[in-house]
Amino acid sequence: MATLVFDIETAGLPPEVFDDVQQEYLFREAGKISDEVERQQKREEIARLFSLWPLTAQVVCIGMLNTDSGKGQVLYLAEDFEEGEEEPGAVKFVPCMDESEMLTAFWDVAKHYDGIVTFNGRGFDVPFLYLRSAVLNVPISRKDWLGYRYTTEPHCDLAEQLTFYNVSGRDGAARKFNLDFYCKAFGIDSPKAQGVSGYQVPEMLAQGRQREIAEYCLRDVRATVELHRVWRERLAGIK
């Protein structure tokens, strides 16, 4: 069966959705600061990190491509629920009413694939999807994507492959770079080339720019497809 390449975009939930005890826990480090300005700056810094944690954030977009056919879809939160549009290359943009609908649609696609490819998916995308699905009681069709780390089946995480499983640590020859840096090094069009990055997703969501988020996510997925091709042709098999 073909391989599924995917990427997710997330956005932190507003602090007010958490009760007083939860907020005290989340902002405890800020509460230790006596200076009011510095304390507020620390709170804002912590709030920006909410997007990284599945208990304080939601999935707002999932982009997927089939490596064989080039077909795929981008699921994204949107207020416009009209029929999805197709791009050249048969990629359909599918607006979803809420996160549960999006995750349900994703797991329905995932069950048809034996293998997946991600960039940093073992450390972020997959555990995020697992925990958000559990929180929302959405059935998970594939529970084997974290499995044995030192294998590329069923999950090939390019962030691990290109660091040879972090063989040289943070500052060695195989240190980890971000997707943008790897793409530029290997001559691949960077998903950041149009001036959008994952850090901007929460702000874009607040501004109602969901379709732009979806298009950015698709660029990430396409870059991951190309980076996987480079890895497979030039580096796969190194032990």
- Helix (H) or strand (E) holding 225, with range, is helix 210-234
86 neighbors 73 (Cβ within 8 angstroms) = no
Ramachandran angles phi, psi of 130, nearest 5°: -60, -50
Give pLDDT, residue 89: 59
CA distance 116 to 221: 12
Looking up residue 8, the CATH number of its domain turns out to be 3.30.420.10
Within a domain: 32: yes
197 neighbors 189 (Cβ within 8 angstroms) = no
Within a domain: 225: yes
Within a domain: 114: yes
Q: How far apart are the first and last CA of the chain?
A: 25
Give pLDDT, residue 166: 93
Within a domain: 116: yes
Give pLDDT, residue 194: 75
Ramachandran angles phi, psi of 63, nearest 5°: -105, 140
Q: Into how many domains does the chain fold?
A: 1
Give pLDDT, residue 1: 66
CA distance 226 to 178: 15
CA distance 183 to 224: 9
Within a domain: 206: yes
Q: Name residue 66's beta-bridge partners.
A: 4
Within a domain: 239: no
Give pLDDT, residue 133: 98
Sign of CA dihedral 79, 82, 83, 88: negative
* Domain range enclosing 138: 3-234
Q: Mean pLDDT by 10-residue block, N- to C-terminus, for the chain (239 residues)?
A: 93 96 97 94 96 98 94 90 56 96 98 96 98 98 94 96 93 95 96 80 92 95 97 93
Give pLDDT, residue 88: 53
Give pLDDT, residue 170: 87
Within a domain: 14: yes
